[in-house]
Structure 1
Amino acid sequence: MEALAQRLSHLDSEAGGALRVVMYFDTLIRRRVDLPALARASAALAECVAGIRLHGTGRVIRVGPDGRPAPTPPAPASTSTPITLDEEEIGTVWLERPTPPGPLDELLLDRLALGAAAVLERYGPASTTMADPALIELVISPGTDDAARTRALRLLGFPADLPLRAIAVRSPRPLDRIGGLICPAHPVKAAPLAEAGVILAPTVDPARFPDGTRAGIGAADRPDRSWQQARTALRFTTDRQPVVHHDDLGALALLAHIPQEALRDNKDVTAIDRLATAGDDLDTLDAYCATGSVRQAADTLHLHHSSVARRLTQIGRTLGIELTEPAGLTRARLALTAWRLRGG
């Protein structure tokens, strides 16, 4: 392999050199080399530092042409190419050539990126898999004893001591696809339950949930407790806030424990019922409660602030609440949240 690399470093024909570069990386992939070996071979071929970075884990491999780890700090990349897998960018490969890029550098990096993607697909973390719902239920059920939960976690492929977050999901998208998006760097298990889909993952990136998805995220605690938190957080989701982390609810989470009959009997909650039948009033109140400002609510609704102010005056009369007062705004927020928790 070293002899081949030496010959390829003195190419006399760009076309012939391109073919040899392709054959070189095809040989590496057939030999099922790992990422460090792939980086070493690339650095030897390019006769400069080659690097691989994985976005999900932050792992960086930099190798010099002598096959040893490259010194730090790194030099600026002379050429770089993204690593893509299943149409998603998962990392980057690059060369640190002190001279201008060579005629075959782009091709070399293209083949290095393809090789890295093949390695990650073969040896990297397993993608999200749909698990046996019975095993998932054993893990998240509060009635499961520790021995049974540990066994279920082991059968799912999770170490018993690995902190897991439970996520309660309602979405038209497949659960395995959502799991792969929110936790691309670690194994994820998912299963549909009667009330919501459940995803178990070591880490969660809330910004990566796809559009049209509602999700409640539990804390990284015992899976059964995390699932209870996730279900509670899911109840607080709205169109404007489709993803809710239980930790962010604070004292608001206490509202989820109020009996349904108490919510039905509360006059502020029943007043929201009347408001829900009055055109855009509910959306106006929601925007105002979310922002706490007439002007910001107007921006959200794409209306003039005077129009929103008139609507809020009428809404306040319907509710019997002075919305411009801090206490009135707090009361309206609680009433609107309780109305949603009741099933409104």
Structure 2
Amino acid sequence: MEALAVRLSGVDPYVEGAIRVVAFYDTLMRRRVDLPALTRASAGLAECVAGVRLHGTGRVIRVGPDGGEASAPAAPASTSVPITLDEEEIGSVWLERPGPPSPLDAVLLDRLALAAAAVVERYGPATTTMADPALVELVISSDTDEAARARALRLLGFAADLPVRVLAVRSRLPLDRIGGLVCPGRLVKAAPLADVGVVLATAVDRDRIPAGVRAGIGAADSPDRSWREARTALRFTSAREPVVHHGDLGALALLAEVPHDVSRDNTDVAALARLADNPDDLETLDAYCATGSLRQAADLLHLHHSSVARRIDQIGRTLDIDLTTPSGLARAGLALVARRLLEDCSTTEEATRSSVSRSRARPSGSA
């Protein structure tokens, strides 16, 4: 590298400088320096304050050109570059140069960002949210022995003495964004698995799950049991209740164990098919079963309670269920839940078939 720099020095001084910067960081990485040493060396090379910030931990390192911690308030960054790892932005590096940027500042920061990502990955665990799906599957699989599960958790960065909460999610939002929101400032790992996204976290703030996300939350401390519970809870989600905690289901969770053929053949569930062509009727029945009150259902639907009463009367005749009695209301509510579980089962089976078809259609040797 030095010989190449000497040969090019007479051709283009900028190229010579850029090569020397690259060689400088190659040497640092061979010495396996940590983040403070990397930042200190960068500040000395740039002859101004250099900084590194990691989003996942909130850690910030600012070092002056003398090698000491920068004590003065942070000046606006003259140049800044994101740190990326596994295609995810995990932080940023910057220079606080008082005057205009140096011609080599961009090269220096590019190399600093690459080196910082390598240091984070080496001394990690890596602070990216997205994880290797194979490791995540080892954690949540009921077929994994405890030693292998513990090792997978350790590789993902989770401490052995802390419980791991599991979420099963469906959303168009990126999984890393969802993970960062539900457990801010703590370790979160996520990966797509078949038809659903998996989020592993040490704690879950369900109120921070963004709108438009369907999420089931497991209650058990064991990751494999928590995953099964999260998948079950996800099946109970709806537009009206997009987030369901398994612990809140109680006896309703038993409905998920009913064989699909048994549910389909049930008289009340089959009767709901007669409402399928009228989504307004299904929405009205759902609101009425959820509230148990004509007036509260009317508030949810933004209708007059007399209009809801007429609809409920007609729906009751169609289903042959007296919806004005507690037993009739309970029957309709259970039928709605059973129908929702059947629909979720159909969606899951279709997604699995599509995934298998794509896998078979993929050319041999493709990634």
Q: Distance in 2 between matches of 1:131 and 1:30?
A: 29
How far off its partner does 1:24 sit? Answer: 11
1:287-302 paired onto structure 2 within 5 Å: 287-302=287-302
How far off its partner does 1:268 sit? Answer: 0.2
Count, aligned residues: 239
How far off its partner does 1:179 sit? Answer: 0.2
Q: Deviations over 1:144-180 (max 9, x none)?
A: 0011101111111112232011100000000010000
Find out whether 1:30 has 2:65 as its counterpart.
no
1:113-124 paired onto structure 2 within 5 Å: none
Cα 1:299/1:193, change in 2 over 3 Å: same
Equivalent residue for 1:254?
254
Cα 1:298/1:163, change in 2 over 3 Å: same
Equivalent residue for 1:97?
none
Q: Report the secondary structure of 1:130's partner residue.
A: coil
Find out whether 1:208 has 2:240 as its counterpart.
no
Equivalent residue for 1:319?
319
Q: What TM-score do you get using the length of structure 2 for normalisation? A: 0.61
Cα 1:31/1:150, change in 2 over 3 Å: same
Find out whether 1:181 has 2:213 as its counterpart.
no
Q: Distance in 2 between matches of 1:148 and 1:258?
A: 32
Q: Distance in 1 between matches of 2:248 and 2:258?
A: 19
Equivalent residue for 1:232?
232
Equivalent residue for 1:169?
169
Q: Distance in 1 between matches of 2:286 and 2:61?
A: 56
Contact 1:218 1:246 in 2 (8 A): yes
How far off its partner does 1:279 sit? Answer: 4.3
How far off its partner does 1:343 sit? Answer: 1.3
Equivalent residue for 2:38?
none
Contact 1:218 1:229 in 2 (8 A): yes
Q: Report the secondary structure of 2:249's partner residue.
A: helix
How far off its partner does 1:126 sit? Answer: 7.0
Find out whether 1:194 has 2:226 as its counterpart.
no
State the Cα RMSD in Å.
2.7
Q: Distance in 2 between matches of 1:312 and 1:127?
A: 53
Q: Deviations over 1:259-300 (max 9, x none)?
A: 001001101001111112124100100111111110011011
Instruction: Give the letter aligned to residue 30 of structure 1.
Output: R
Of 230-239 and 210-219, more deviation after overlay is shown by 210-219
Q: Distance in 2 between matches of 1:128 and 1:287?
A: 41
1:300-315 paired onto structure 2 within 5 Å: 300-315=300-315
Q: Report the secondary structure of 1:251's partner residue.
A: helix
Q: Distance in 1 between matches of 2:337 and 2:315?
A: 16
Contact 1:268 1:335 in 2 (8 A): yes
Contact 1:125 1:186 in 2 (8 A): no
Q: Deviations over 1:56-76 (max 9, x none)?
A: xxxxxxxxxxxxxxxxxxxxx
1:7-26 paired onto structure 2 within 5 Å: none
How far off its partner does 1:128 sit? Answer: 4.8
Instruction: Give the letter aligned to residue 264 of structure 1.
Output: R
Contact 1:181 1:209 in 2 (8 A): yes
Equivalent residue for 1:222?
222
Structure 1 segments of 4+ aligned residues over 2 angstroms from their partners: 23-26, 28-32, 122-128
Q: Report the secondary structure of 1:342's partner residue.
A: helix
Equivalent residue for 2:80?
none
Cα 1:314/1:213, change in 2 over 3 Å: same
Cα 1:125/1:314, change in 2 over 3 Å: farther
Q: Distance in 1 between matches of 2:240 and 2:127?
A: 30
Q: Distance in 2 between matches of 1:259 and 1:336?
A: 16
Cα 1:254/1:128, change in 2 over 3 Å: farther
**5+ residue gaps, structure 1:** 1-22, 43-84, 87-121
Q: What TM-score do you get using the length of structure 1 for normalisation? A: 0.64
Cα 1:125/1:275, change in 2 over 3 Å: same
Of 126-135 and 175-184, more deviation after overlay is shown by 126-135
Q: Report the secondary structure of 1:203's partner residue.
A: coil
Equivalent residue for 2:332?
332
How far off its partner does 1:211 sit? Answer: 1.4
Q: Distance in 2 between matches of 1:124 and 1:275?
A: 55
Contact 1:169 1:213 in 2 (8 A): yes
Instruction: Give the letter aligned to residue 62 of structure 2.
Output: R
Equivalent residue for 1:283?
283
Contact 2:125 2:155 in 1 (8 A): no
